[in-house]
Structure formats: C-alpha cells, structure tokens
C-alpha cells in the first residue's frame, strides 16, 4: 500500500478547477479504482462514467496525464512511484460535470449513416459469407465507442470542421458498411461529400490511442480515400471493381 496524489478536474460547463486528493493505493489498482476511492473517501459527488471495468464498454474515457485513455485499463504501476496523476475529461467535447463530457455529437453522427442494405438471402434462406471476406469488417466492428479517437483527432478539435468531418470512429463505421460483403448500397459519394473523408490528413493519432488496436487510418480511412479517388479521378479502376464485383 502506498500514498498517491491526484489532481482531478472538478466543475461544469461554466468552468472549474483542479482539486488535489491523496489516497492509499494497493497493487493491481487501475486509475478508475482510484477515482472510486476518492468518491468513497473524499468526494461522494465526483462524477465519472464507467460500466464494465474491463475495457469492453468504452464508458470510462478521460485524459490521464494529458493522454486520452480508458481509466479502467490504466494500471497505477505504469506511473512513476512519486508521480502526481492528473485527470480531466476529454477535451474535444463539452463538459457536463467533472469527468463526464457531452458525447452526443457522436450519436448524431451514427444516426446519419444509412443502415446496411443487404442482398437477398440465398435459396436455402442463409447468407453465405466467408471468414476471409469478413475479417476486415470484424476488425472495425470491435469498436467499443470509447470516442478516444474522436477526442484526439485534431480535425474535430476545430469547431467548424466538426460540421464537415464525421471523425475516425465513423469513418470505420462507414468502412464496415462499405466493405460488408452483403451490402448493396453505394456509399462512396457521401463518404466524400457528407462525411468529409478528404479532411483527414492521415496523422494516425486516432490509431495510436485506440484501445482495441483497430487500424483506423491504414485499414479504414486510407482505403476509403482510395475508393473516393478511384470513383472521381480514376473511373476506369472503379469500373473494374464494379465488374469484378469486389466490395
């Protein structure tokens, strides 16, 4: 057991400040455990979101010593023994209270994406898809909607661009539909025009913070950009794909 120092941002949309707390920490604890201990011992009304405590639900996102992270998967022994740990809410979204931010922007983005338009089932009533054809899509579907990638994307940090760029989380959502073996919809025009694929300049910051290790930039965004390029600047390539039927 050892004594550890924390600086936790407390406040709401009107403003706030860092408050210092000291608690005892035992081996094996993660940052979220420490927040709970602060709640139990010093600040019963400290607001934070969490559910699964195992990196599966994406609720507990926050910035820990300046880095966007899941607090339930950030072990205390990853810090120096005397390091003070600074905790604040995600910066890209408006704060609600303390460590809780208003992530409704993301839910609005999701609602804009048209659903899967599946081809008809086979004669036997089944959809046939092969594992090698769904591997890519399954990678994108691992997303736990922690929105850490959205938080770190510098395009979204600029309020105006938020109108024009949907962000990395929703680029992979679009990719998971565009590359879905059953989907019959044509999504390329809107990927460029409405969701703003051109605004991403491939800094890969999103990929670096993704707790699910999804290849957001290389496996989703770049291939989507390529499809846009094919369509608008290399129609021959596009035609080839249409003829060979590759999704």
Partner 1 sequence: MRDINELQTIEHDVLVVGAGGAGLRAAIEASRLGLSTGVIMKSLLGKAHTVMAEGGMAAALGNVDDRDNWKVHFRDTMRGGKFLNVWRMAEIHAKDAPERVRELEDWGAVFDRTRDGLINQRNFGGHRFPRLAHVGDRTGLELIRTLQDAGVHNGIDFHMECIGVDLALDGGRVAGMLAYWRDTGRFVLFKAPAVIFATGGAGKAWRVTSNSWEYTGDGFGMAYRAGAELMDMEFNQFHPTGMVWPPSVRGTLVTEGVRGEGGILKNSEGVRFMFDNIPERFAAETADSVEEAARWLEGDRDARRPPELLTRDVVARAIRKEVKEGRGSPHGGAFLDIATQQPADFIKRKLPSMYHQFKELAEVDITAEPMEVGPTLHYYMGGIRVDAITQMTNVPGLFAAGECGTGLHGANRLGGNSLSDLIVFGARAGQGAKQYLDSLSGTPQPQGDHVNDLIDEVVGFLNREEGENPYVVVDDLQVAMEEHVGIVREGRELEEGIEKLAGLVERAKRVKAHPSSQYNPGWNTCIDLRNLLVSAEATARSALSRQESRGAHTRLDFEGEREDQLKYNNVVVQASDGSMDLRQEARPEPPEELARIAHASIEDLEANRV
Q: Which residues bind ligand FES (CB under 6 A)?
A: 50-53, 55-60, 70, 72
Query: Residue 27 to residues 21, 33, 80, 81: CA-CA distances in angstroms?
Result: 19, 11, 14, 12
Q: Nearest CA to 179 among 107, 99, 116, 108?
A: 116
182 binds, among ligand FES, partner 1, ligand SF4, none (CB under 5 to 8 A by kind): partner 1
Stretch near ligand SF4 under the rule CB under 6 A, chosen from 31-39, 92-100, 129-137, 166-174: 166-174
As measured in angstroms, the least distance from the Cβ of 137 to partner 1 is: 5
Task: Output DSSP code: residue 45.
Answer: T
DSSP H or E segment with residue 156: helix 154-157
Among 95, 177, 206, 222, binds ligand SF4 (CB under 6 A): 206
CB of 202 to ligand SF4, least distance (A): 5
Nearer to ligand SF4, 31 or 148 (CB): 148
In the region spanning residues 26 to 55, those forming contacts with ligand SF4, defined by CB under 6 A, are: none
Helices 131-141 and 168-178, packing angle to 10 deg: 160
**Closest separation between CB of residue 144 and ligand FES, Å?**
6
CA angle, 52 as apex, 35 and 212 as ends, to 5°? Answer: 100
What does 12 interact with, of ligand FES, partner 1, ligand SF4, none (CB < 5 to 8 A by kind)? partner 1
By the rule CB under 6 A, 147 interacts with ligand SF4: yes
- The residue among 67 and 114 lying less far from partner 1, judged by its C-beta, is 114
Q: Is 200 a binder of ligand SF4 (CB under 6 A)? A: yes
Nearest residue (CB) to partner 1, 57 versus 162: 57
208: left (phi over 0), alpha (psi -120 to 50) or beta: alpha
Q: Where are the beta strands (DSSP E) in the chain?
A: 2-12, 15-25, 61-64, 67-70, 85-88, 95-97, 100-101
Tell the smallest beta-carbon distance from residue 48 to ligand FES (Å).
Answer: 10
Closest residue by beta carbon to ligand FES: 72
168 vs 211, beta carbon nearer ligand FES: 211
- Please give the C-alpha separations between residue 30 and each of 26, 34, 53, 102, in angstroms, as whole numbers: 9, 7, 9, 24
Q: How many CB atoms lie within 10 A of CB 148?
A: 27
Please enumerate in sequence order all residues whose Cβ is within 8 A of that of 32, keeping only pairs 6 or more positions apart, or say none: 48, 50, 53, 60, 71, 72, 74
Q: Is residue 190 at the binding interface for ligand SF4, with CB under 6 A as the rule?
A: no
| Those residues with Cβ within 8 angstroms of residue 223's Cβ, 6 or more apart along the chain or in another chain | 175, 179
When binding is defined by CB under 6 A, the residue of 15, 201, 244, 245 that contacts ligand SF4 is: 201
Given the rule CB under 6 A, which residues bind ligand SF4?
Answer: 58, 143-149, 152-153, 155, 168-169, 172, 200-206, 209-212, 214, 216-217, 221
């Amino acid at each position: 057991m050892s004594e550890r120092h924390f600086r936790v941002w407390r406040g709401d949309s009107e403003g706030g400040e860092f408050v210092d707390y000291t608690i005892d920490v035992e081996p094996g604890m993660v940052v979220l455990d420490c927040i709970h201990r602060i709640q139990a011992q010093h600040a019963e009304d400290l607001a934070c979101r969490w559910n699964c405590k195992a990196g599966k639900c994406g609720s507990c996102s926050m910035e820990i010593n300046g880095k966007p992270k899941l607090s339930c998967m950030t072990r205390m022994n990853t810090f120096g023994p005397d390091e003070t740990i600074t905790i604040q809410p995600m910066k890209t979204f408006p704060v609600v209270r303390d460590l809780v931010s208003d992530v409704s922007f993301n839910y609005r983005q999701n609602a804009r994406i048209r659903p899967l338009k599946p081809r008809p089932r086979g004669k036997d009533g089944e959809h046939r898809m092969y594992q090698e054809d769904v591997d890519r899509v399954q990678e994108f579907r691992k997303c736990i909607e922690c929105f850490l990638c959205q938080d770190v994307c510098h395009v979204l940090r600029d309020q105006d661009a938020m109108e024009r760029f949907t962000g990395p989380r929703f680029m992979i959502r679009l990719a998971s539909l565009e590359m879905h073996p059953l989907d019959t919809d044509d999504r390329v025009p809107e990927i460029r025009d409405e969701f703003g694929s051109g605004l991403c300049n491939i800094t890969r910051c999103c990929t670096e913070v993704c707790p699910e290790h999804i290849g957001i930039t290389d496996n989703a965004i770049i291939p989507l950009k390529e499809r846009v390029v094919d369509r608008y600047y290399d129609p021959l390539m596009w035609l080839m794909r249409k003829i060979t039927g590759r999704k």
